[in-house]
Amino acid sequence: MDSGSHKHTLLTGNLNKRYQNRRQLSEILHKGRTDRGHFAGKLVALERDNSTRKIVIVVKENQGKRIKCSLPPSKNLYHNLTAGITKDIQVAMSNPAVVVLDVDKSVYYDYQLEYDQYQFILGQELFSTIPDAWRGSSDEEEIPTQSHERVTLPDAQESQSTHQQSKHTAAPNAKLGGKMPPDWTPILNVNSYLGNRVEKIAGIVHRADPIRTTKMGDWAMELDIVDETSIQPLEIKLYASEKVHLPPEGIIDKAIMFTKLRILQRKGAYNYAQGDKNVFQYTCYENNNIFHDVGFVRLDDDANPRPERIHWLTSMDREGLQRLLRWSRNELRPVEQIPKPNGRSSLTHKLLKDIAHNESITCTVEILDIWTESHEVDLKVTDYTASPHLFEPNSTRWSHPPGRRTMRVRLRDDAAGQAQNLVVGNIYRIKNIRIKDDRGLFYANGGKGPSGSQGTLISSVDPSDTYYKELLARKRRLEGGGSLTSSPTNPPDPLPVLKSPTKATLVQPTSVEAGPPSASIDETEQPIQQQSASIAEPSVTDKKGKVSVENRDLPVLRESYPEFPRFMGEVEIASTVECANAPRHPHLTLKDIRYTPQVPRMFYFYARIVDIIPSGVADAVHSSCTKCGPIDKREDTHACPRCKRSNTVQHSIRFHFVLQDSERELPVEVFDEAADIFFSRRLHHLMGTTGGSNSLQVGGISEIFGFVGKVYMTLENDDPCSGQWLRRYALSGCRIRGPNAR
DNA sequence: CCTAATAGCGGGACATCATC
DNA sequence: GATGATGTCCCGCTATTAGG
């Protein structure tokens, strides 16, 4: 017994080296492709899939769940595995596909691990197709007497391609296209560079610590990157004499490439890379869909500490970075439709602040957290009303409103099944849950209900729904109170005293299909009296109800963007963009937009601006002479430098917003009227005629704007044979008001 | 990256209740 | 009483934090 548990510990330590955390199988699979981890269990059965000839192992997790993992066909492997039935097994996996749990097979996950997604230890043997270099040198030290016999699994690449699982199977490398640039060092191979510098190494930022000072008075930053060759992140330590030489904070999930990092080994443990002061350079691709050259490098050159546009980034590098971003882009999980409400409920609709013990209610709530297991789902929900009977969460893992505004809802049976499709941050109506009291705190149960009666039913809520609107209004007020004060980097930002919105320009229907119908700007002045009467909470004083109409129906914004001004470098946001109402177009989330199959398509959405590219706004101005074509865009003149004619030069603006809503970021190309209007009152300022500043102040970062946009396809390169069709997101229908007069 | 300590809570276990 | 639904408790796992 003793030796058994000893062995177990050692094995755990071994897998821990690669997968960091041992976790619940259900959790790994639920979180899906961004996650990895390993779990322990027993090999309970071995099967063979007659059609694909794959081997299927059935593992029973220690917690009782079972999973089927199919492996590449191999006689020897099958033979080896039969001896392992009933033995302890540890399965480690990376990037598993999200498994949509089937309620009826609640303890049984039928899952295919592809060849590069797993390792497992059975008995004393490590089964893996992952190259030996993967194994840290620490293995031997850590487990000197336990060196596992290594069994190399046959390569299953062909089965991967023949057995297309489309969206449901994670096949990390299958659809990337292209190759890693030959002069990049795969993270997998850094071991061979110990003590030396690697010319180029790139990855997706997995962790980025805040910039700190060193004892020597320099600046330092730590980050982790991953690439396709290694799910074990490479730690990178960067040192610089100037803070601006370091990458900006907040670059998690961006693609980054470094030059001249030194590969070092920490005492007996693992390797890391170091960017020495005045040596390394980097370039960062910040946005998934922008295939323009937006990288930049900060040179450690005291004479020129400003970020410089890169000039040495090759097209190969650029492709590689784009490819990394594509690789990191996750979850194509189809969002299953939540049924629309059908029929009316006899149950009273209640706000959480009004609930009472033992009653059955219907409520409209935002989902804060979903924990799901095979047969039960725990939701944390809020409608932004407070009650002393609700608990006040202190979890940092999921965001929640302050105070006692959160209720736990435990769903079972069919209701648990419905809950599998809920999305955190969205608002749903939950019909027929029973309020219970657990030591003074209320929670809710949902499920079938007593036989004969109707069970719990979850439905989506239309944004026009009154409860929906009121919930958002409450949320808005809560956030308004909190977030305004918590913006240390961004002083009050004297928001333009919006005198009568004057003649805020409406965008005329642009070339992209119908523009927004004439939205009445007057709405913005409309008092919000009626709502506040019914929903105001005493504790949340809403400073004068400064909620304007365009912000009323906002989708939930779960994450703040604290680093924005620094992140931007040159551009600060200061004027308000406001959107024409667009009732004829669907109101979508950015996620919906990204995966909408119809292209082109018009839509509207709410988001905040988190980045503008290029960040030097002058770079967004394109000038051309009406007689002789494009001219250097930095020309500050109305006379053409080439043909010398005067008043022939025209300027246009084209730039990208990076917009963010509760679900994701979306880069959007802005041009034509929308761009002109956005910058109209700033144009000559931009052009340097009023003081020579190239920077622009636009928008308020805490603002959420409405946008009308269009998705369309464009050919990246002129040759229709080799060119690539890309999705682009154009904006129209914006209008601005009140650029910050100064 | 590591280890260690610890708080929080996931979720299993099973008691109790409701219904037939 | 049998069965299934619901209610409650609390163990142990895990995430988090701190320090190296």
Tens digit of each residue's pLDDT (9 = 90 or more) over A378-396: 777 888 887 767 776 655 5
**CA A248, CA A443: separation in Å to the nearest integer?**
43
Name the nt closest to A408 by C-alpha to C1'.
Answer: B9
| pLDDT score at A446 | 75
Name the nt closest to A18 by C-alpha to C1'.
Answer: B1
Percent of chain A with pLDDT over 70: 19
More confident residue, A357 or A490: A357
A26 touches strand B (CB under 7 A): yes
A39 CA – B3 C1', rounded, Å: 21
A451 CA – C1 C1', rounded, Å: 19
A412 CA – B16 C1', rounded, Å: 18
Name the class of domain A559-620+652-742. mainly beta
| pLDDT score at A201 | 81
For A428-451, the pLDDT digits (tens) are 888 778 777 665 667 777 776 555
Name the nt closest to A266 by C-alpha to C1'.
Answer: B1
**Positions of chain C reached by protein Cβ under 7 A:** 4-9, 13-17
Q: Which residue is nearest nucleotide C13, judged by alpha carbon to C1' distance?
A: A23
A595 touches strand B (CB under 7 A): no
Contact residues for A420 (Cβ-Cβ < 8 A; gap 6+): A100, A101, A103, A372, A377
Q: Is the pLDDT at A363 greater than 80, yes or no?
A: yes
Name the nt closest to A371 by C-alpha to C1'.
Answer: B10
Q: Is the pLDDT at A186 greater than 70, yes or no?
A: yes
| pLDDT score at A169 | 25
Strand partners, A155: none
- C-alpha dihedral sign at A383, A385, A387, A390: positive
**CA A102, CA A420: separation in Å to the nearest integer?**
9
A187-328 fold: OB fold (Dihydrolipoamide Acetyltransferase, E2P) (2.40.50)
Q: Which residue is nearest nucleotide C14, judged by alpha carbon to C1' distance?
A: A23
Name the nt closest to A452 by C-alpha to C1'.
Answer: B19
A133 CA – C17 C1', rounded, Å: 32
Name the nt closest to A37 by C-alpha to C1'.
Answer: C14
A371 CA – C7 C1', rounded, Å: 19
Name the nt closest to A235 by C-alpha to C1'.
Answer: B1
- Categorize the per-residue pLDDT at A460 as very low, low, confident or very high, splitting at 50, 70 and 90: confident
For A157-184, the pLDDT digits (tens) are 323 222 322 222 222 222 334 467 777 7
Contact residues for A384 (Cβ-Cβ < 8 A; gap 6+): A366, A401, A405, A471, A474, A475, A478
**CA A66, CA A416: separation in Å to the nearest integer?**
19
| pLDDT score at A142 | 23
A27 touches strand B (CB under 7 A): yes
List the end-to-end C-alpha distance of chain A, in Å, as a whole number. 78
- Using an 8 Å Cβ cutoff, are A516 and A708 in contact? yes
| pLDDT score at A260 | 73
Encoding tokens for residue A457?
């039913």
A395 CA – B6 C1', rounded, Å: 15
A146 CA – B1 C1', rounded, Å: 23
For A243-287, the pLDDT digits (tens) are 666 776 656 667 777 777 777 765 444 567 777 766 677 777 654
Q: Is the pLDDT at A329 greater than 60, yes or no?
A: no
A371 touches strand B (CB under 7 A): yes
Name the nt closest to A63 by C-alpha to C1'.
Answer: B12
A395 CA – B8 C1', rounded, Å: 8
**Positions of chain B reached by protein Cβ under 7 A:** 1-3, 8-13, 18-20
Task: Of A22, A159, A160, A170, give the one whose Cα is nearest residue A96.
Answer: A170
A235 touches strand B (CB under 7 A): yes
Encoding tokens for residue A646?
């005067």
A594 CA – C16 C1', rounded, Å: 34
pTM of the model: 0.30
For A297-315, the pLDDT digits (tens) are 444 444 444 444 444 567 6
A390 CA – C11 C1', rounded, Å: 24
Name the nt closest to A396 by C-alpha to C1'.
Answer: C16
Mean pLDDT of chain A: 53
A699 touches strand B (CB under 7 A): no
Q: Which residue is nearest nucleotide B20, judged by alpha carbon to C1' distance?
A: A451
A360 CA – C4 C1', rounded, Å: 20
Scored b (16 or more CB within 10 A) or e, A250-268 reads: bbebbbbbbbbbbbbeeee
**CA A380, CA A357: separation in Å to the nearest integer?**
18
- Contact residues for strand C with beta carbon within 7 Å: A 21-24, 27, 396-397, 410, 412-413, 434, 436-439, 445, 447-451
Scored b (16 or more CB within 10 A) or e, A59-72 reads: bbbeeebbbbbbbb
Contact residues for A435 (Cβ-Cβ < 8 A; gap 6+): A355, A356, A357, A358, A359, A360, A361, A442, A443, A444
Percent of chain A with pLDDT over 90: 0
Q: Which of residues 64-123 of A touch strand B (CB under 7 A)?
A: 64
| pLDDT score at A242 | 64
A205 CA – B10 C1', rounded, Å: 30
For A556-604, the pLDDT digits (tens) are 222 222 222 222 222 333 233 333 344 455 666 666 666 665 555 666 6
Encoding tokens for residue A5?
């548990």
Q: Which residue is nearest nucleotide B11, judged by alpha carbon to C1' distance?
A: A373
A449 CA – C6 C1', rounded, Å: 9
- Least confident interval from A258-262, A322-326, A372-376, A402-406: A372-376
For chain A, give every residue range classified as CATH 2.40.50.140.
2-168, 187-328, 344-490+523-558, 559-620+652-742
A394 CA – B8 C1', rounded, Å: 9
Task: Of A228, A232, A286, A238, give the one whose Cα is nearest residue A258.
Answer: A238
| pLDDT score at A437 | 65
Contact residues for A77 (Cβ-Cβ < 8 A; gap 6+): A55, A71, A127, A151, A153, A154
**CA A409, CA A339: separation in Å to the nearest integer?**
19
Burial of A144 per CB tally in 10 Å (0-12, 13-18, 19+): exposed
**CA A227, CA A256: separation in Å to the nearest integer?**
10
A391 CA – C9 C1', rounded, Å: 18
A61 CA – B20 C1', rounded, Å: 37
Name the nt closest to A437 by C-alpha to C1'.
Answer: C7
**CA A516, CA A518: separation in Å to the nearest integer?**
6
SS3 sequence of A667-713: EEEECHHHHHHHHHHHHHHHCCCCCCCCCCECCCCCCCEEEEEEEEE
Task: Of A698, A707, A701, A711, give the one whose Cα is nearest residue A737.
Answer: A698
Please determine, looking at this structure, whether the domain spanning A344-490+523-558 carries the CATH number 3.90.480.20: no
A523 CA – C15 C1', rounded, Å: 47
A203 touches strand B (CB under 7 A): no
Q: Once rounded to an integer, what is the mean pLDDT over residues A441-462?
A: 69
- Strands across the sheet containing A149-152: A108-111, A66-71, A55-61, A36-48, A88-94, A118-122, A125-128, A149-152
- Using an 8 Å Cβ cutoff, are A611 and A657 in contact? yes
A394 touches strand B (CB under 7 A): yes
- Side-chain-side CA neighbours of residue A703 (13 Å): 24
For A23-72, the pLDDT digits (tens) are 555 555 544 444 455 666 777 666 665 545 556 676 766 545 566 666 65
Q: Which of A62-66, A104-108, A193-197, A719-723 has the highest mean pLDDT?
A: A193-197
A658 CA – B12 C1', rounded, Å: 45
A718 CA – C18 C1', rounded, Å: 56
SS3 sequence of A326-362: HHHCCCCCCCCCCCCCCCCCCCCECCHHHCCCCCEEE
A235 CA – B7 C1', rounded, Å: 28
For A337-349, the pLDDT digits (tens) are 233 333 333 457 7
C-beta pairs of A162-170 under 8 Å, 24+ apart in sequence? A163/A52, A163/A112, A165/A97, A165/A112, A167/A332, A167/A333, A167/A334, A168/A97, A168/A98, A169/A97, A169/A112, A169/A114, A170/A32, A170/A33, A170/A95, A170/A96, A170/A97, A170/A114, A170/A117
Q: Which residue is nearest nucleotide B10, judged by alpha carbon to C1' distance?
A: A371
Report the SS3 class of residue A129: coil
For A407-435, the pLDDT digits (tens) are 878 776 666 666 666 777 778 888 778 77
Q: Where are the beta strands (DSSP E) in A266-406?
A: 271-275, 281-285, 296-298, 307-309, 360-372, 376-382
Q: Which of A6-10, A226-230, A313-317, A649-653 has the highest mean pLDDT?
A: A313-317
Q: From 1.50.10.10, 3.40.718.10, 3.40.50.300, 2.40.50.140, which CATH number describes the A2-168 domain?
A: 2.40.50.140
| pLDDT score at A205 | 72
Q: Is the pLDDT at A471 greater than 60, yes or no?
A: yes
| pLDDT score at A175 | 31
Name the nt closest to A16 by C-alpha to C1'.
Answer: B2
CA–centroid distance for A131 within its chain: 30
Contact residues for A235 (Cβ-Cβ < 8 A; gap 6+): A222, A223, A224, A270, A272, A273
